[in-house]
Each structure stands twice: as structure tokens, then as C-alpha cells.
Structure 1
Amino acid sequence: MSAFAALHHAAQPLLLPNAWDHASAMALAAAGFGAVATTSLGVAAAAGLPDGASATREETLRLALTLGTAPFLLSVDAEGGFSEVPDEVGEFARELAAVGAVGINLEDALGPVERHAAKIAAVKRAAPGLFVNARTDTYWSGDGDGTLPRLDAYREAGADGVFVPGLTDPRGIARLVAHLGDLPLNILFSPAGPTLPQLADLGVRRVSLGSLLYRQALGAALETAADIRAGRTPRGTPPSYADVDAWARGSDPAHSAGR
């Protein structure tokens, strides 16, 4: 079992924050997160491209290239694999593994079960050591109908874990955990849903933050600009210039001079 896979079977669930660029990933690592994922929304928005439209293959691979050798375990949000051809998805996964990524998140977007299962199988053939987190959007984009058959098909195809964003009902989460057995369940954290300790008690093995950190950062930027325009002192304590510059360079902020 890889070190990343082992984190899904530890005493506490893996809290996986999602970065959108090099500096945000390095900042999270500096804050003590030993595993960091990317967020497809953040990567797409930073490039001025739509999310979920298979438009950011190169941007996603480029970010993985800069982060794959960083001092943390990297999992990459790859939307639906940037192709509907399973072997092409497998090739993209091989490229991710080659630059140091240890995990990939693949979403089905409620497309055909067989096609998504074929993508998962292709990834496992092309990059056997890559942890495949198979996402279904039955709750994200629907009412949850068909969740179990999809998860069963993705497990059969070789998924190492499954992701059900949009599910926040504790009873529904508990039912999925019981159905899945030793297959790790990933839940997307929601401020209106169960807390991290509550998700742990329900048996969830991985909790992702998705685009939340990116959206919070944008919100803080807007609040700061509005405060200054209104003559107020900005709230919060931002990192220093030197800290951000150090993260962007991949160095330790503690050893960087202020600028």
C-alpha cells in the first residue's frame, strides 16, 4: 500500500485541502498538510477557462509538474480525465504519475457508468500506483438516484476510493460507509454539513475541501478591497510579501528576508 493510500486507512480521516497554484500548495504544506490536492475550479478560473469543460488539460499538467516533487503528497483533480477515450485518460494519468503525482480524482458528470468505469480501468493499467478517487455526481447534480450501482461499478473497475460530493445527510453517509466496507469514502466538506469530527464518527475516510479555499480567498480579497474603499482597516492577517515569495520559490518563509 502506498503512503497516500495508507492515509485513507488511518485512525483519522484524511483532510485534503485543495490548492489552485504553486504558492497556495506550498503554503498548505508549510501549515502542516502532508497531502495536498488541486481544485479544477481554481485552476480553470486562474487561467480564464471554464471548469468541467475539459479545457485545462495542459494547465493541470503544468501545475502537477511544478508540484510533483514538492515535499507533500499530490493528488490531482482531473475533471473527467480531459477525454472521453479511456486510453487517452490513461495516458494523462501516466503523465501525472511521471511528474510525481500520487493520486487522481476522476468525475463521472453523470455520464454513462460503463464509460467512466473504462476510464478508471485504463488509469489503473497505465499508472498502477496512482490512487484513483472515483467521483460520482449523483448528489452534486441530482437527487442521489443510482449512487450505489455507480460506486459498485467503479470499485469493480479498480477504484481505490470513491467520492460523493453534495451528500451531507449523516444517515445517507452512514449507509454508504456500511455498503462500501473497506473502500474509502470521500465526502466534500460543507460548512452547512457535518463537522470533521462528525464525519470521522460516520466512518468517512477522506474529507476534501474542493474549491472552498479558493472561493474563501476571493471573498477575502473582495472584503479587503471594500474595506479600504470605505475607509476601514482591512480585517484578517494576510501572509507577508516575503512569505508568499518564498512559497512561490519553494523555499522556507522562515529563511526569507522581508520585502
Structure 2
Amino acid sequence: MTFRELHFAGDLPLLLPNAWDVASALAFAEAGFPAVGTTSFGVAAAAGRADGGRATKDATLALARALAPLPVHITADIEDGYDEDPEEVAAYAAALGVAGVNIEDSTAGRLIAPESHARKIRAVKRRAPGLFVNARVDTYWLGQEAGPAETLRRATAYVEAGADGVFVPGATDPGELRRLAAEIPVPVNVLVVPGLSLAELGALGIRRVSTGSLPYRSALDAAVGTATAVRDGRPVPAATPYQEMQRRLLRYEESAR
């Protein structure tokens, strides 16, 4: 099944876990997920950098290429494309060798003109027609012009430019999600919404749900929890055996040769 087809398979939305390195992507693939995304927050944080500010350009390129041997579809979070020049954005996206990209319509914490973002999308689709471009609308995420009207105005411009999907992180109200899904003619993607199951999101018309940085942040909490359990004499949580993780990495090394 192609990455595009996964957005329409079954009643449930495509659940996309987001990895920050090879080991986390391997774990998601081992768990049976057919597609894995990257998280700019996790990639940046692992390198000691704050999210945004185009800090993940080189690391994301390296990670995307490292994940190429995995038997799953890979989609990369490329922030705003790391450039204002649409052709530079297109060249970068095409060089990743992945099935899809997320590209957001904000830079340095501020929304950019939708026309500028549409030009980036158009350039990417010209350069790599088969790449699934998930256009991220940051109205809700940044709390700037948040609401269906402006979100739909931007989404419409991006779909007309060739976007294959629209990502609206931060949107959580069921009524607004239903409206966005009904009026945007491509698969709508949201982050995990506390209190709403995959089935409930699917009933609202949502076709893709991303975990974003949640697994990375949860992993850090689990690591601290394990260390404090040892320190405080509490039971240590269960974990994948060392030998199994080692075998997983050895198989990856063999496939990457």
C-alpha cells in the first residue's frame, strides 16, 4: 500500500508515530506501524537545540537518509522548508528520499503570508510530483488568527498549490475539526487530541493523527522514572531486553549496507 493510500485505508485515521533517531524509528516499525514520521522537536532536542529556527536542517536530512532502509514509509518534518526561496525548499525536499514531508506556514513563531507558503508547495510538487506534501497550517498552534475561517482560507490556497494533505496542529474542538475535515478536500491531519480516540477522530472526518513530540517527551519521562525508581528503591519498569534491541540494530546495519 502506498503512503497516500494509507490515508484512506479503513475507518480509522492513519496513526503516524514520530521518531527522533534510528532506534526510535526501528521500534515503531517493529511495533507494526506502516509509516513513521520524524519530529523536528525531538531531532532538535536530541542535539541540544530548541525547536524551530531552522536548527534541524542537516540533522533531518541525515536522519531521513538513515531511515531509508526501513521497510516502512517515512515522512519528514522539515519545519518551514529551511529557506524563503521556494526552489531551495524544493531541492531540499526532493533530496530527502522520503515518501512525504510536513512543511509549516510559519517562521520564527509567526505566520507567513499564505501566498509565500503556496509558492513553496508548488515548487516542491514541480520538483518531486510523487512526494506527499502535508501542508501545515499553524493558526491554532501559534494562537494567531486561530479559527476555522482563516485556517480554511490558508488550507484552500495550499490545496490549490498542490498539497496532498493539510495538517492543523492545535485544533481540538470536535465541531471545528468536523468543519475542517468537511471543507478541506484532502486528508486532514491533527495531533493526538486528549479525550478523543482514533475512532472518534475518524468519525469527525480526520484521516491522519500524528504523535508529534509526545513519544520523545514520554521517553524522557520514562528514563527519569527508571533512574529515580532505582535511586528510591522502587520496582524498575519493564524494558525491551538489551539482546533484542541489539539484534534489531544488527539487522538494520545489515540492511543499510
TM-score (norm 2): 0.91
Equivalence for 2:9:
10
The answer to whether the 8 Å contact 2:178/2:205 transfers is yes
- Kindly indicate whether the alpha-carbon contact (under 8 Å) linking 2:165 and 2:188 is maintained by their aligned counterparts in 1: yes
Q: How does 1:1-80 map to 2 (within 5 A)?
A: 3-11=2-10, 12-80=12-80
Amino acid in the other structure paired with 1:10: A
What corresponds to 1:185 in structure 2?
A: 188
1:171 is aligned to 175
Secondary structure of 1:132's counterpart equals strand
CA contact (8 A) 1:104 1:132 kept: yes
Counterpart of 2:8 in 1: which secondary structure?
coil
Using a 3 Å threshold, how does the CA distance of structure 1 residues 136 and 186 change in structure 2: closer, same or farther?
Answer: same
Residue 96 of structure 2 aligns to a residue whose secondary structure is helix
Distance of 1:92 and 1:193 partners within structure 2: 37
For residue 103 of structure 2, what is the aligned residue in structure 1?
106
Shift of 1:178: 1.1
Residue matched to 2:203: 201
State whether residues 26 and 250 of structure 1, in contact with CA within 8 Å, keep that contact through their aligned partners in structure 2: no
Percent identity over the alignment? 53
In 2 relative to 1, CA 82–246 (structure 1 residues): closer, same or farther, beyond 3 Å? farther
CA contact (8 A) 1:13 1:204 kept: yes
Amino acid at match of 1:201: A
> Cα–Cα, structure 1 residues 148 and 29, in superposed 2: closer, same or farther, change >3 Å?
same
Q: 2:8 is matched by which residue type in structure 1?
A: H
In the alignment, structure 1 segments of 5+ residues that lack a partner are 253-259
> How far 1:251 sits from its partner (Å)?
4.2
Residue 23 of structure 1 aligns to a residue whose secondary structure is helix
Which letter maps to 1:122? A
SS at match of 2:81: coil
Partner of 2:155: 151
1:188–1:208 Cα contact (<8 Å) kept? yes
Post-superposition offset of 1:105: 0.4
| Deviation at residue 244 of structure 1 after TM alignment | 2.3
Deviation sequence 1:66-87 (CA, Å, 0-9, x none): 1012111000011111111111
Tell me the amino acid that sits aligned with residue 153 of structure 2.
Answer: P
2:131 — aligned with what? 130
Task: In structure 2, list runs of 5 or more residues that go unmatched.
Answer: none
The answer to whether the 8 A contact 2:75-2:101 is kept is yes
Name the SS of the counterpart of 1:139 in structure 2. helix
Supply the distance in 1 between the matched residues of 2:200 and 2:251 (Cα, whole angstroms). 35
Counterpart for residue 232 of structure 1 = 234
RMSD: 1.5
Write the distance in 2 (CA, Å) between the matches of 1:95 and 1:248: 25
Give the counterpart letter for 2:212 in structure 1.
Answer: G
Pairwise CA distance, 1:50: 2.2
Aligned partner letter, 1:203? G
The CA deviation at 1:233 is 1.8
- Give yes or no for the alignment of 1:160 onto 2:164: yes
CA distance in 2, matches of 1:243, 1:214: 21
TM-score, normalised to structure 1, is 0.91
Give the AA of the match of 1:52.
G
Q: 1:152 to 1:51 in 2, by over 3 A?
A: same
Give deviations 1:35-86, integer Å, cap 9, x for gaps: 1101111111111122111111111000011101211100001111111111
Please report how far the alpha carbon of residue 246 of structure 1 lies from its aligned counterpart in structure 2 after TM superposition: 2.9
* Structure 2 SS opposite 1:83: coil
For the structure 1 residues 25 and 139, does the alpha-carbon distance in structure 2 shift closer, same or farther, using more than 3 Å as the test? Answer: same
8 Å contact from structure 2 (residues 69, 252) kept in 1:
no
Q: How many Å apart are 1:209 and its aligned residue? A: 0.4
1:248 aligned partner, one-letter code: L
Query: CA offsets, 1:205-244, max 9 Å, x none?
Result: 1010000011110010111111111121223x21111222
1:98-142 superposed Cα distances (whole Å, 9 cap, x missing partner): xxx100000112211111111111110111110000001111111
Structure 2 CA distance, aligned partners of 1:53 and 1:244?
Answer: 33
